[in-house]
Structure 1
Amino acid sequence: MRSAFLLIRIAGALAVVAAVVGQLSLSIGYWTSTGVRDLATSITNFFSFFTIQSNVIGAVSLTIGAVLLARSVLPDPGWYAVLRACATTYLVTTGIVYNLLLRGIELPQGSTLPWSNEVLHVVVPIVLLVDWLFAPGRRRVGWGAVGVIVVYPIVWAASTMLRGPFVYNDALHRQGWYPYPFLDPANFANGYGTVLLYVLGIAALIGAVGVGAIAVSRSRQRRIAPSS
């Protein structure tokens, strides 16, 4: 099993790199051909998507995990157990939100690369979930890790909403850029009120997934030494 998950982790990390590079290359070509005002800002916007950032976190987690398995470091160090819980939570949330709210909706990254889209929103979330459930070395994670898990999404949401009004939207030819339609107050009659409801709903989902991930680690029949 150790060898199998070593290969799965390597393949998962490489899939993230290929999908991100593939989509970015296509998007840069699209932006160049359509004459966007500021290519650097468009690239910054690309890396502002929660999907991209959570997949990068997932790739880092899988890469570190592959190294630990290759070196037979079992169980997971405490810090890595928390990182795995974070990565799993973010990617599972990404998969749920995309497939419930965003599938079929054109997002403002330019032209979408279909296979990359599926890798980032379906394949990698499944890989992280399977890795969390079945990979060797997972240890019991303390409930305090929930606080660590929610820090990044809170910072991401706050920075996104603060930055949004100051960024020009080339796709819509107006001021105000947000990575997802449900974050753009211009899309709703109630403006920021509706956006806040979406943010709170997704925050609750992240918290629930995080609690679930930790509960799985704590309910395992053959537990590894606790990290807290």
Structure 2
Amino acid sequence: MSSTAPAAASATAASLSRRLLLVGRAVIAVAILAAVIGQLVTSLGFWADRGDPDIGQNLVNFFSFFTIESNLLAMVVLGILVAAQLGRPRIGRRFDVLLLCASTYMVVTGLVYNTLLRGIELPQGSTLGWSNEVLHLIAPLWMLIDWLVSPRRRDLQWRDLGVVAIFPLVWLAYTLLRAPLVDDTFASGRAYWYPYPFLNPENHANGYGGVAIMCVVVAAVVLLGGAILIAYARWRARRLEPVGAPAA
């Protein structure tokens, strides 16, 4: 048996793996776009049917969901990965950090939704079933799988956890400052709007104290998730091809 046979088989398997990643990334990016548009169209119809007087405010609310924002970021990142696999652009350490952020946010989105929010109707209009599953289950699972199996070595440092924390903290500040100023009386009879029940002080026995505890828990989950992804990436980095190799 030729000594080149195992090497050829290994190269063929690697090529097939990269092709599957390319197709998977493209499919999930398109699925996310379709899911966001589908839910938006469904919500617009729902708001119009009930005679909502402020569609503009509802649109801002829609794009204020962490789920929507994290999925849109994941869609962009997956698009860049697909383009990189096709030859452009070249990606490096800054992109690795962006990918870390997107993957962490998506994993946290999946965890929080499926442990705390599944079965609860979120205030974004009538929920579109398949879109809900794509945004909260399928896409988060893909981002985790992609991180675990990607053949490209990620150039990440522990200090990158600080970058991961920036957006969730800004989002929490924005949400908690904006929510009491949004008049949702027409839709819910309340003079405020919180995207998720656990951020509403009325849902906690000790009001904003309960909200603060939940914020700390979510922040801890984000940091822990990011730390696990970094640890895994650094472990694989010692076993995979150098940064800058063609595989993305």
The whole-number CA distance in structure 2 between the counterparts of 1:19 and 1:49 is: 14
Give the secondary-structure state (helix, strand or coil) at the position aligned to 1:168: coil
Gaps of at least 5 residues in structure 2 are: 1-16
Corresponding residue to 1:205 among 211, 215, 221: 221
Change (3 A) 1:78 1:224: farther
Aligned to 2:181: 166
Cα RMSD of the aligned pairs, angstroms, is 1.6
Match of 1:65 in 2: 81
1:186 is matched by which residue type in structure 2?
E
2:142: which partner in 1? 127
- Whichever of the two has the greater Rg, that structure is 2
Tell me how far apart the structure 1 counterparts of residues 18 and 89 of structure 2 sit (CA, whole Å).
11
Residue in 2 that maps onto 1:13: 29
> 2: CA distance between counterparts of 1:40 and 1:61?
28
Spell out the pairing of 1:42-53 with structure 2 (5 A cutoff): 42-53=58-69
From 98, 103, 117, the equivalent of 1:83 is 98
2:121 to 93, 96, 106: 106
Give structure 1 stretches of 5+ with no counterpart. none
Aligned partner letter, 2:121: E
CA deviations on 1:50-75 (whole Å, 9 max, x unpaired) are 0000000100110001111111778x
Q: What displacement does 1:172 show? A: 1.4
State the 1:195 CA deviation: 0.7
Work out whether residues 101 and 164 of structure 2, in 8 Å CA contact, stay in contact via their aligned partners in 1.
Answer: yes
Once residues 73 and 117 of structure 1 are traced to their aligned partners in structure 2, the CA distance between those partners, rounded to angstroms, is: 31
Q: Distance in 2 between matches of 1:201 and 1:81?
A: 26
**Alignment equivalent of 1:195, drawn from 208, 211, 234:** 211
Aligned residues: 226
The partner residue of 1:146 within 152, 161, 169 is 161
Q: Which segment drifts farther, 171-180 or 197-206? A: 171-180
After superposing on structure 2, the runs of 4+ consecutive aligned residues of structure 1 that deviate more than 6 Å are none
TM-score (norm 2): 0.87
Counterpart amino acid of residue 121 in structure 1: H
Residues 103 and 144, structure 2, Cα contact 8 Å, conserved in 1: yes
- 3-state SS of paired residue (1:35): coil
Matched to 2:46, the amino acid is Y
Distance 1:165 1:113 in 2: 27
2:54 to 7, 23, 38: 38
AA in 2 matched with 1:118: E
Q: Distance in 2 between matches of 1:141 and 1:225?
A: 13
Per-residue CA distance 1:159-218 (angstroms, 9 max, x = gap) = 000000000124312211010001111222311111111111010000000000100110
Which position in structure 2 is the counterpart of 1:217?
A: 233
Distance 1:223 1:10 in 2: 24
Which residue type is aligned with residue 164 of structure 2? I
Deviation at 1:226, TM superposition (A): 6.4
